[in-house]
Chains A and B, each alone.
Chain A
């Protein structure tokens, strides 16, 4: 699969990344090469094979409905770039 600069641009938008012109070109080349490698999968007939998301064929262990967490706002916001009055701040969003 040949990846064009436009595809790179679209995926970059989805993933919140930005690339300059040079990077766009280099990413489209390397992504194309990687996808070529990946496409070897198509040689295998997987008709009827159940996809496997996890190596464990186990089912989920669940958690009892109890409150175990205490307020640690100060600790957690100590590592935040910008907060005010206990609230995380981002540039103004207009809805």
Chain B
């Protein structure tokens, strides 16, 4: 039987504030356990939460970034359950009046198409602490440094149909929140964590299957593996006549599998009610406008501008605009190579391929936009050929070259555009290959490439390919 996969994600994004959402304790990563857990974070008797003002512009910026509506009144609720890393026995979150409602994003898929994923809501809440299960023999340890860290939980509609789409969506959200400056996006430090709601149903049907929720997946790679495992598991269960149990599961990267959480809250009745220690917050139009004005250009806006300003294809523009750092690098490069089309093409193809290959992010790239721009302008001004440019790019990449112009000079890489020196070489090659010359003259014009190739080989790629083309054609006619 053919199955269709249905995935919705809940993404917890850590907002990059200096202090916690309800206390003045630091949110800095990596401190000694419990040294950044103050009385409020610990839920000691008599303490009270006071909301960090900074979470509002950040949450609103995200909302505007996905075209959502912003609640005029935003209030907190208590979600009640017992767990050792939840000090108060309740989490302060937003149930009834989330700050962000609705919205959608367009995800670039591998096949070059865009997929719209709708957002249900995004709400503010506090993070829990960390349980340490491995460190002690008889005990579980509790580190509450993370307790009270501000989170924006972004809940999607069940719009994704494969693990790949889910990962593309998660990556997009990651990029967006980083770009908007609402999160540092550092996944190794837990700044973005996903809960995946996965179900399957017979292809062609519309009724939702029973879903499972795989919690706390903290890398894109794990997300893909967790969903794929879960889809296969559910298929096996259903195909062998079983039923899916609605449950919370954990992904175990070591075993590459998900399994039910044994220690989850005994009961799931969270008894939400309005947090009486905090009053509602009014978010007015002026505030929203202020946030909007201070927001960077959104990917959608940027892609449109790129296509228009630089005459790029829609596809190129979207890829370049999706990652704000890549987009900046592109625009910096254009400052030095005024041929935006070539620049766009090279950033998208050559640069991205190398970045992916070496698994480095554009911000960590040693090659400056200036040198890259100079390199590309040497193609445009016909100093070098594209092929030579690729070699130089590799040399720059490896650190073997620092200055493009010096490197060209030193290695004598200027392309030969001088017909006086090319003509004798071409004549010699024609003479050395009489059979091919004859066939060409009889109409097998595809052989032009053969002659051009020979010339390029003899000149070690330095000959101007266009000029060689013309000269060969003339000599053979």
Contact = CB atoms under 8 A, between A and B. Distances in A.
B82 A16 contact: yes
Interface residues of B, number: 54
A40 B56 CA distance: 41
Contacts of A95: 131, 133, 250, 261-263
A63 B39 contact: no
B267 A13 contact: yes
A65 interface: yes
Given A91-B139, A92-B138, A93-B263, A65 B33 contact: no
Interface stretch (B21-29, B112-120, B177-185): B21-29
Interface string A64-92: 11111101110011000010111111111
Given A63-B50, A95-B263, A71 B35 contact: yes
Contacts of B51: 60, 62-63
Contacts of B136: 84, 87, 89, 92
A58 interface: yes
A87 B143 contact: yes
Nearest to A61: B50
Contacts of A85: 33
Contacts of A88: 34, 84, 141-144
A69 B24 contact: yes
Contacts of A87: 33-34, 132, 135-136, 141-143
Contacts of B439: none
A54 interface: yes
A90 to B, nearest CB: 5
B52 A62 contact: yes
A58 B280 CA distance: 8
A92 to B, nearest CB: 5
Given A14-B271, A68-B19, A60 B141 contact: no
A84 B131 CA distance: 14
A38 interface: no
B59 to A, nearest CB: 13
Nearest to A64: B53
A42 interface: no
Interface string B281-322: 110000000000000000000000000000000000000000
Interface of B: 17-19, 23-26, 32-39, 42, 44, 50-54, 56, 75, 80, 82, 84, 131-133, 135-136, 138-144, 250, 261-263, 266-267, 269, 271, 274, 276, 278-282
9 contacts: A14-B267, A59-B279, A60-B278, A64-B53, A73-B35, A73-B37, A76-B34, A84-B141, A85-B33
Interface of A: 10, 13-14, 16, 53-54, 56, 58-69, 71-73, 76-77, 82, 84-95
Rank and list the top 3 A-B pairs by shortest CB-CB distance, nearest first. A68-B24, A65-B54, A62-B53
